[in-house]
Amino acid sequence: MNNRTINKPPHGSSEWLAVRWRDENNLARISASVAAAVHGSHPYTSGADLAVELLSDTPPTPQSENRAMMRGNTLEVPIRDWASRLLDKWLGAPAVMYVYEEEGVRLIATLDAVSEDKEVFEIKTMRGRWNGKLSDHWYWQGVQQAICANVDKITWVIFDSDLDIQFHEQVVTSDEKRMHIEACRQFLAAIDMGMVPDTASMNYTNVNDLFPRGNGTIKELDEEHAVLLYNYGKLQGSIAELEKICEEIKTKLCMAMGDADYGHVDGDLACTWKTATRTTFDSKKFELEHPALAAKFKKQTTYRTFRVVSKKGE
């Protein structure tokens, strides 16, 4: 195994994201936090999401903290210090990132804490009670951390809804390491060829992110895609017809209810038609009355729209 460390830029910064995204030779890396995506078991990042990110010409940009991220980032240091006292050993945040490399495989990990005797600790917070079992998401993160840090054990420090720290030792075997390394090798092999891995199931959002701008050229579609076009057009027509029927049915039901908020069938609640009030910002009026100020807050968004062009006579 080829293990090394590199200097760690400020956590969460553009530089830190770029280091996790590509290596010194501009080749894609897989970071431990998304390791589970390679196996299709990450709750927030699919294999397609990861593929699109690694195939992009630009590195990821820092994202606004959500409440879960804010909770974890805020509590990480006090939890680490608390765990240090419970274990009666020094725990510190490494100033380096841990890298594992072999032919066709490039992995990287940011570790939350290490002890003086090189034990690795991963700190987590959770809203529920710890049940003693790692999720697939955390399991694969631990496997990759063990690979990158060249250790056989990850100690999880988990602050749960009991407002207490729970410890969990994840022993990582050589077979588990090799399984993950081979999965990453196959994933990165496709990325290195500029392709989406076969295991990544793309959706329209992924494709739109992968090809955000058109270049004005023409693509001759083959027979298979001509069939897809035909089916897509038929389905779009069916959806429009169904929406029209639904609208007609809803109109008749609401006419029958009149001023009533609740509709019953055989004495049981079957539907509701409640009154609601919402407040919206009148952007058109604001732009008319304060055009200079409105111009400062305009945001331009680039996107692509797909539509099927009907042939004459159809």
Q: Is the Cβ–Cβ distance between 138 and 126 less than 8 Å? A: no
Burial status of residue 16 (CB atoms within 10 A of its CB: 0-12, 13-18, 19 or more): middle
Tell whether 189 is covered by a domain.
yes
206 shares its domain with 229? no
Q: Is the Cβ–Cβ distance between 28 and 59 less than 8 Å? A: no
Tell whether 231 is covered by a domain.
yes
As a whole number of Å, the end-to-end CA separation of the chain is: 63
**Of 187, 210, 233, the domain-final residue:** 210
22 shares its domain with 58? yes
Angle at 47 between CA 232 and CA 72, to 5 degrees: 125
Q: Which residues contact 191 (CB under 8 A, 6 or more apart)?
A: 28, 51, 54, 55, 197
Tokens of 107: 């992995």
142 shares its domain with 174? yes
Domains held by the chain: number: 2
Q: Is the Cβ–Cβ distance between 260 and 269 less than 8 Å? A: no
Tell whether 227 is covered by a domain.
yes
| Mean pLDDT computed over every residue of the chain | 94
* pLDDT (mean) for 75-93: 95
38 shares its domain with 61? yes
Tell whether 216 is covered by a domain.
no
> Tens of pLDDT along 280-293?
998 899 888 888 88
204 shares its domain with 228? no
Q: What percent of the chain has pLDDT over 70?
A: 98
Tell whether 43 is covered by a domain.
yes
Q: Is the Cβ–Cβ distance between 117 and 87 less than 8 Å? A: no
232 shares its domain with 157? no
64 shares its domain with 148? yes
Beta-strand ranges (E) seen in 12-119 are 30-31, 91-92, 96-102, 105-109, 113-115
Q: Are strands 105-109 and 96-102 parallel, antiparallel or unpaired?
A: antiparallel
Q: Is the Cβ–Cβ distance between 38 and 189 less than 8 Å? A: no
Tell whether 309 is covered by a domain.
no
Q: What predicted TM-score, i.e. pTM, was given to this entire model?
A: 0.83
Q: What is the maximal distance between C-alpha atoms in the chain?
A: 81
* pLDDT (mean) for 244-252: 97
100 shares its domain with 192? yes
Dihedral sign for Cα atoms in the order 67, 72, 74, 78: positive
Please report, for residues 47, 207, 212, the alpha-carbon distance to residue 215 in angstroms, rounded to integers and kept in the order given. 27, 15, 10
CB atoms within 10 A of CB 170: 20
141 shares its domain with 241? no
* pLDDT (mean) for 166-187: 98
Q: Is the Cβ–Cβ distance between 122 and 142 less than 8 Å? A: yes
Q: Which of 232, 220, 224 is nearest to 310 (CA)?
A: 232
CATH number assigned to the domain comprising residue 32: 3.90.320.10
> Tens of pLDDT along 194-226?
999 999 999 999 999 999 899 999 999 999 999
Q: Which residues contact 150 (CB under 8 A, 6 or more apart)?
A: 1, 3, 100
Full residue range of the structural domain in which residue 242 is found: 223-296
Q: Is the Cβ–Cβ distance between 122 and 112 less than 8 Å? A: yes
230 shares its domain with 202? no
Tell whether 307 is covered by a domain.
no
62 shares its domain with 170? yes
190 shares its domain with 230? no
Q: Which of 19, 1, 22 is nearest to 11 (CA)?
A: 19
- DSSP code at position 3: E
> Tens of pLDDT along 108-149?
999 999 999 999 999 999 999 999 999 999 999 999 999 999
Q: Which of 207, 184, 26, 221 is nearest to 109 (CA)?
A: 184
pLDDT for the residue 310: 74
Tell whether 196 is covered by a domain.
yes
Alpha-carbon distance of 35 to 145, in angstroms, equals 9
Please report, for residues 37, 118, 169, 258, the alpha-carbon distance to residue 156 in angstroms, rounded to integers and kept in the order given. 20, 14, 6, 59
CB atoms within 10 A of CB 183: 19
